[in-house]
Amino acid sequence: MTFQEIINQNKPVLVDFFATWCGPCKMMSPILTDLKNRVGDKADIIKIDVDKNPQAAVAYQVQGVPTLVLFKSGKVIWRQSGVVPANALEQLINQNN
């Protein structure tokens, strides 16, 4: 499945734009694992390495990492840079399900 196909789904898709050298990005990893356990199939969570996929970062104006973007049906419905707690992300997904 392509990135476009993934974000065009009817369920929320949380995209974590990250870089391997980024400290806060490493902090997001266990948070996203926890979040996936909480939301299960209600949402997809994918990670995009901005160094390997610069065109995706440019397309969504990702200036800093980590940047989290929530898509639904191909539209950006929320975005935030920095580390975001699992509770806040879970609430966001539930509101947009």
Closest CA to 90 of 46, 27, 30, 42: 42
Reply yes or no on whether 22 is catalytic.
yes
Find the catalytic residue in 6, 22, 46, 77: 22
Phi–psi pair at 66, nearest 5 degrees: -75, 145
Find the catalytic residue in 13, 19, 25, 35: 25
The SS3 of residue 13 is: strand
Rounded distance between C-alpha atoms, residue 96 and residue 78, angstroms: 10
Reply yes or no on whether 62 is catalytic.
no
On the question of a cis peptide bond just before residue 85, with omega within 30 degrees of 0, the verdict is: no
Q: Give the residue numbers marked as catalytic.
A: 22, 25
